[in-house]
Structure 1
Amino acid sequence: MVLENVVVQFFQNYHMNRILVPLNQGKEVEIVSDQLKKELVNERNIHINSQPITSFQYYAGGMGVLFLLMTVVFLVGSMIEEKEEEVYKRLLVSKLSNTSYIIGKLLGIILMSMIQLAVIILFTSFVFKVNWGEPFTVVMIGCSFILNAAGFGVLIGSFINREKTFNSVGILGTQVLAALGGSMVPLYLFPQWVMNISYFLPNSLALQMFLKSMAGADFSEIQSGLLLSCGMGMAFFIIALLRMSFERKHRYA
């Protein structure tokens, strides 16, 4: 990064000198003024209440999202354990519908994840003085991410029948998602194609919304992200429901 800044500064100074040198050589001022009109720096508007993100804020959000992913993996593991210990088969012969089963698992994951999110936010707020932003906005971001992650976890759990297999895949997948989602290092350090992929990861989407909230964004500025996150969660939930209905019809009918 230091080398990059040195090189960029050198080329900026070179370009500026290349424009200003004709003034000392008696050339027309109009030509120089036209060159000076070219933008040397890209500008963008920022929110009037925007604040710089501190390292504590960034990694509080990054580690909070990572821990929530791990919680979802642990809770979905209990769902896989039911399949392995024949509890799931007993539930299938009862009057319990697939929709009730999936909703029950989803609500349990959401409830436990909400408790953990509350602990993370309160602890970092009081101990490390981390400002997460407006409470309502933070709660909505947390709910949308938990719905997204829980739906994704239940979907994966509907395809796997071995707890050990799921735990191995879940732990590895959590680390990969955390790395690609910016929980370990900022996203701008990655190549552009990795950044493009990360925008559609549940944890990366939640982290970016948390960072916007910490920077002073209001609810209206993150509405699109909330809708996308909730939509992804509902899509995962519907696919998991269809998958379990298909399995029940062809295997346990």
Structure 2
Amino acid sequence: MLRSLLTVSALELRTRLRDGTALVIAVIVPVALATLFGLALGGDDPPLRATVGIVDLDGGEFPASVRAEVMAAKELKGMLTLRDLPGRPEAQQALDAGDIGSAIVFPAGFSRSVGAGEGGRVDVLGSAEAPLAGVVANAIVDRISALVDARTLAVRASLRAGVPADQVKEFVERNGAAGPALTLSNDPLQGGKVDLSVYYGSGMAALFAFFVVGASFRSLLTERRQGTLDRMRAAPIRPWVPIAGKAVVGFTLAVVSVCVTWASSVLVFGTSWGDPVAVFTLLVAHVLAAAAITMLVASRARTDAQADGITMVVSFVMAFFGGSLVPLYNLPDVLRTVALFTPNGWTSTGLTGLAGSGGGLATVAGPIAVLCAIALTAGGLAAVGFRKGLLG
């Protein structure tokens, strides 16, 4: 049985290599398109911008110093705009209108409370429509909290040491115990900045995985039309061997295709798709899903021409809605939801997360699980279709 499987696989591979389809579809076209897209549209994502409202109900020195330090932060130059607002209701109205992405509210008496060592609380108003501004505002507030904690500890320690209450502020500032300057130790906008060559490289890899495996399953229909499949079934082999043999070749060539596209993207543009083990595992899971879907198409199609047409439509629809041709962040919210019904959407999401966060296999555990579930579901339906059709 294994020998029969290897024989069928070897025959399919020789045929694909002899007519040149394997080399063209699996390597030349995806690498060329990924390179062209990367050269034309590569570089970082479009510049990130965030507008954060400031509600200063305190009017003291602390909010003023925070504003000065934030505007001086190198990490935020050209990216952050601060907008003064008179009160919390006005800030909420600006959020609802989309004029700002988030707001920081300093309550009345905040500076006095911090100066007295009693601490203080700063509120952040956010909007689901502008998550970036929320990230920036929360990063700023985290640093404010660190300053408040440092100041509070310094004041309390001074009081316990016997420093008169009316001299504590001067004593704390003179001895440099007011806490560190307000700086953002890490760029709050880092993560999520992905070179567009990664988007288009991974997009071409995901798209052509469908074409590569689809060519092998299409040949089943061609061989049925030519009578070759009947002769193979008349041989002393299991009925599923021709399908399995072609599936092995299609899967192998597709894995080679996505890996070559990945390697060419890294070598040409010097970018990273993320942790190699995680990237490879995710790409293999995508190929599994693509193979199962194209197998399902072949099991339902009546002719090889029909299988070609359906495979092309399915591939491009999934590529577009799944972020292989257009980055997901450019799609409306409705289409981003639709993307989650495609293997390309999960693959794009996983690869973007890896390239932007520097995470490992755990980062893409969810997308890999979903891709495997798609493969099992589509593969099961394809098996039923083949049983009733080609194997019937």
Aligned residues: CA RMSD? 3.6
- Aligned-residue identity in percent: 18
In structure 2, what is the Cα distance between the partners aligned to 1:21 and 1:221? 39
Q: Could you tell me which residue of structure 2 aligns to residue 217 of structure 1?
A: 359
Q: What is the correspondence of 1:30-179 to structure 2 with a 5 Å cutoff? A: 37-40=123-126, 41-43=133-135, 50=191, 52-179=193-320
In structure 1, what is the Cα distance between the partners aligned to 2:215 and 2:233? 23
The alignment status of 1:243 with 2:385, answered yes or no, reads yes
Runs (4+) of structure 1 exceeding 4 A deviation are 12-16, 44-47
In structure 2, what is the Cα distance between the partners aligned to 1:146 and 1:236? 13
Q: Deviations over 1:77-128 (max 9, x none)?
A: 2222122222223333444334433322221111111111221122111112
Change (3 A) 1:102 1:77: closer
Contact 2:274 2:355 in 1 (8 A): yes
**Counting helix residues as a fraction of each chain, which structure ranks higher?**
1
Q: Which shows bigger deviation, 234-243 or 147-156?
A: 234-243
Structure exhibiting the larger radius of gyration computed from Cα positions = 2
1:133 counterpart SS class: coil
The alignment status of 1:17 with 2:103, answered yes or no, reads no
Which runs of 5 or more residues in structure 2 are unaligned? 1-45, 56-80, 91-106, 110-121, 127-132, 140-186
Change (3 A) 1:50 1:82: same
Q: Structure 1 residue 60: deviation in Å?
A: 1.3
1:39 counterpart SS class: strand
Which runs of 5 or more residues in structure 1 are unaligned? 23-27, 31-35
In structure 2, what is the Cα distance between the partners aligned to 1:147 and 1:124? 22
* TM-score between both structures, scaled by the size of structure 1: 0.78
In structure 1, what is the Cα distance between the partners aligned to 2:203 and 2:389? 36
Q: Structure 1 residue 179: deviation in Å?
A: 0.9
**Counting strand residues as a fraction of each chain, which structure ranks higher?**
2
Contact 2:198 2:271 in 1 (8 A): yes
Q: Structure 1 residue 15: deviation in Å?
A: 8.5
* TM-score between both structures, scaled by the size of structure 2: 0.53
Change (3 A) 1:173 1:20: closer
Change (3 A) 1:74 1:130: farther
In structure 1, what is the Cα distance between the partners aligned to 2:310 and 2:88? 60
One-letter amino acid matched to 1:39: L
